[in-house]
Structure 1
Amino acid sequence: MQQNEPSNIDNKDLSSQFTKLLNGLKHKMNSVYHERSDVNKLAINRGMPPFVMREIMSVNPFSAVIPTEFGGLGGDVKESIALMAAASYESLALSLTFGINMALFLQPVMKSAQPEAKAAVLKRFIEQQNMGGLMITEPDFGSDALSMRTSYTENESYAHLQGTKHWAGLTGWADFWLLTARKNTGDDRLARDLDFFICDVTQPNQGIVVEEFFENLGLYQIPYGRNRIDVQIPGVQKLVPEKSGVKLMLDLLHRSRMSFPGMAMGFIQRMLDEAITHCQKRFVSGKNLLGYDQVQQRLSQLQAYFTTVSAYCVNSSKKAGLANDLSMMGVEANAVKSLATDMMQSASQTLLQLVGAKGYKLNHIAGRSTVDSRPFQIFEGSNDMLYSQITESVIKLMRKAKQGNLLEFLKTYDITANAAKEVKELFNFELDYSIPQRKLVEMGQILSRVISLDHVLQLANEGFSRELIDGAITHLKHDMKQLLASFNVKNKTNVIEDYSASSDWLNFAGVTK
């Protein structure tokens, strides 16, 4: 039995208690979003009324993923994904709040915190419904996290951290923060590795100064800003990685990316339900929208997204548990995060297109969802960057295996082997190891769909709806064919920085007659 894995009896008890908690959460969300207030009005105002979080946190949702010895239910990734899915059906901002707390704070604390600090943090999450977040990103170092300049010096009692962090969700709200910093080795030189510290903002010398709250576009209920770090953190609150700080960060981020389907699941299901309901009720030229072929195509695409993300959720529940080291799972984690978030944005655009003009309002779910889902394609790694990294990793594996044929590689790669049999006619070609970055991105988009197809085929073996499976397979294959056509087009165009010469159209319009 793996570490922290409960017995069968515990699993049965967990299932029962978690079902009760999940139903309680849904009841509270219905109360605060539909009975006591209107979610469409709440969502267009910055911040969240105190009663909303008070009511939602009263069911102690994070207890689901806290070990039983600390007063929780003992759940793991499956429960956290289910909580995020339930929340995102009602509010993407609430679901992201859950994700920040569970995937970016609680999970790394439970895995790598020192016993004394872990016990203290989890006790307050259980008894006081505290919240926690993660600060990695800096103004001059976004995706280039390993170049961060936040540094620390330490003595026998504490570590002194200094720097600036921004774009941390729950800025000014969270009671705890995981802070990343590099050790100052003298002469302003910083160690290559990084370390994680638990910062308790309620304690002396651990307060974080919010220098600016950002006017973020969308996700209005979550505060973001720029934070000045000048804190003294007791040594007991430093995380202890199994190998290195970089490995800890990769394990943390990959597990979080594997959890993105939780936020995508409820959100896409809501887009699908809203779209079907609208098309059933909306009549044009004597028939409802469901009678139009283009509408059917759009709705079937939404159902393909729903099915694919369902496959992600099942796969992540099996693979992304805390007992597992995910630091080397970059290809799969990046594929899941990137394509899940691309599907979220596409789903919202589809609903907006179907609803039409009235959806182009911030207080309508179609318009709001389009804005709220967009940053998911950017944070925790821009999708363009992640797609590029997927291809680079696959090429590295192919080089190591001395394999040039993409199909032959996919047939032996554990996360594409089943899918390769379904698409063998598409990938029987030699992959150029030195393709330009724009082609790395395109190939990453293609490979993400092959990986997704593999997940969908595994879901089919679990007994999931065959009709939905067939639809998802058809759409994934269609996407691959389109993307491969683009991949095979030679395009080396570059920007002309000084483009103003001979480019004013008015000079070529002639004299008006």
Structure 2
Amino acid sequence: MIRDQETLNSLLDTVGRFVRERLVPREQEVAENDRIPDEIVQEMKELGLFGLSIPEEHGGLGLTMEEEALVAFELGHTSPAFRSIMGTNNGIGSQGIIMDGTDEQKERYLPRMATGEIIGSFALTEPDVGSDAGSVKTSAVRDGDEYIINGTKRYITNAPYASVFTLMARTNPEEKGAAGVSAFLVDANTPGISLGKPDKKMGQSGSHTCDVIFEDARVPASALIGGKEGQGFKTAMKVLDRGRLHISAVCVGVAERLIDEALRFATERKQFGKHLSEHQLIQAMLADSKAEAFAGRSMVMEAARKKDNGERVSTEASCCKLFCAEMVGRVADRAVQIHGGAGYISEYPVERFYRDVRLFRLYEGTSQIQQIVIARNMAKELQE
């Protein structure tokens, strides 16, 4: 639901120009150095990009889902690493606090997340726990007014520079399922927390992940989100609809950037005496990519508006994530194909994007998890 079209248009114009003028020219530098320049991060903070979805009363922009999706489309037109640095502050790092946190937790963390003063990180995945999020093994044992935490979290985005972790840990060892999992807000400087070496990834250079190791780390009972045990899995599930729609919108933005790159190359390069764009097989790849990106954009906007209207969109969010994540992979493949041998050379951005977009099919729920969610929801709706 768009609250003020003029204000939103101004924001979208500002973000669009920032992407084109400041981020796109630095993409190769970030890829080579595996680091986002400090001045770029500072500019993101000044633009309010760390607080897109955080309510205005806590210092954020408080965008509706539809408004956030439109911004995400713009952010998708550059390297995903830029979005990743602020992604957790707007997504799973803050939404759990917004939805289930106590007033004290909201006042302590949200204003500083909104400004980017602190970076949030979501610690769920473990060496043996990924898609089966209800099987968390990291333990949180109550000891008076504290919890003692032990366990290892893996592939944790933004962990190397996080200030606070939204941690999923098992507080009830007798309950082996999701009901035994609780959510905590753990400051990164807590004694007993150490970090593993940064992961070497296929793509998305500039976005960093690593292990987070908890060894008898003590946190106050007040760190329990909402002050209730056994609600962690439910909290995580609540934030997924918004997160999946956001990632879907980013996928659409990336697809549109890839189409622009492929179209530009096809209209400039000649083969067999005419431009590539005049060859019907190239036209077919361009047309398929355009149609699929348009379908993805339409899906995201429809689901976002439903969410803003207060409707349940679990099925729609998973449909968007499934389609858009798979779609951008197909578009990236076609973009490389249209470039021919040049598409395999790092001088052209399509080579980097081809590797970057592979992650979209994995995080925020793999494509297979989305299929399971969709099918289960369909069966439930039939029975209702």
What TM-score, normalized by structure 2, do the two folds share? 0.89
2:60 aligned with 1:76, yes or no? no
CA contact (8 A) 1:84 1:96 kept: no
* Cα distance, 1:66 vs structure 2: 2.3
Partner-residue secondary structure (3-state), 2:105: helix
- 1:132-188 Cα distance to aligned partner (Å, 9 max, x none): 1211100011111111101112245332222100111112122222100111457x9
Alpha-carbon shift at residue 389 of structure 1 (Å) = 4.4
C-alpha spacing 1:17/1:75, structure 2 compared with 1 (3 Å): same
2:194 maps to 209
Aligned 8 A contact 1:183 1:190 in 2: no
Q: Deviations over 1:343-384 (max 9, x none)?
A: 011111110000111121234211111100012112222213
Aligned-partner SS, 1:229 = strand
Match of 1:227 among 201, 212, 225: 212
* 1:64 matched residue in structure 2: 52
Instruction: Give the superposition deviation at 1:21.
Output: 4.0
Partner Cα separation in structure 2 for residue 383 and residue 391 of structure 1 = 12
Distance in 2 between the 1:345 and 1:286 partners?
Answer: 31
Distance 1:166 1:320, change over 3 A: farther
Contact 2:134 2:181 in 1 (8 A): yes
2:329 aligned partner, one-letter code: Q
Give the Cα–Cα distance (whole angstroms) in 2 for the partners of residues 351 and 96 of structure 1: 23
* Structure 2 counterparts to residues 183-202 of structure 1, below 5 A: 183-185=171-173, 192-202=179-189
The reply on whether 1:262 has 2:246 as its aligned counterpart is no
Paired position in structure 2 for 1:238: 224
2: distance between equivalents of 1:148 and 1:60?
34
Q: Secondary structure at the match of 1:47?
A: coil
SS of residue matched to 1:356: helix
Match of 1:276 in 2: 263
**Inter-CA distance 396–182: structure 2 relative to 1 (3 Å threshold):** same
Give the direction of change, closer, same or farther, for the CA distance of 1:75–1:243 in structure 2 (3 Å limit): farther
What pairs with 1:78-117 in structure 2 (closer than 5 Å)?
Answer: 78-117=66-105
Q: Is the 8 A contact 1:182 1:190 kept in 2?
A: no
Q: Which residue of 1 aligns with 2:23?
A: 33
Computed over aligned residues only, the root mean square deviation of the Cα atoms, in angstroms, reads: 2.8
The alpha-carbon deviation at position 31 of structure 1 amounts to 4.4
Taking structure 1 as the reference length, the TM-score comes to 0.68
Match of 1:425 in 2: none
Paired AA for residue 227 in structure 1: V
Deviation at 1:324, TM superposition (A): 4.8
Tell me whether 1:366 sits opposite 2:366 in the alignment: no
Matched, 1:345 2:293: no
Q: Deviations over 1:437-472 (max 9, x none)?
A: xxxxxxxxxxxxxxxxxxxxxxxxxxxxxxxxxxxx
CA distance in 2, matches of 1:214, 1:325: 39
Match of 1:138, SS state, is coil
Give the Cα separation in 2 of the matches to 1:242 and 1:306.
Answer: 42
Are 2:50 and 2:116, in contact at CA under 8 Å, matched by a contact in 1? no
The 5 Å alignment of 1:96-495 reads: 96-127=84-115, 129-185=117-173, 192-202=179-189, 204-205=190-191, 208-230=193-215, 231-240=217-226, 244-321=231-308, 324=310, 329-395=313-379, 397-398=381-382, 400=383
Residue 199 of structure 1: CA displacement? 1.6
Gaps of 5+ in 2: none
Rounded to whole Å, the distance in 2 between the matches of 1:134 and 1:74 is 20
Q: State the one-letter code of the partner of 2:119.
A: M
Residue identity over aligned pairs, in percent, reads 23
Paired residues, what number? 382
Gaps of 5+ in 1: 402-513
Quick one: which of 43, 58, 70 aligns to 1:55?
A: 43
How much does 1:334 deviate?
Answer: 2.2
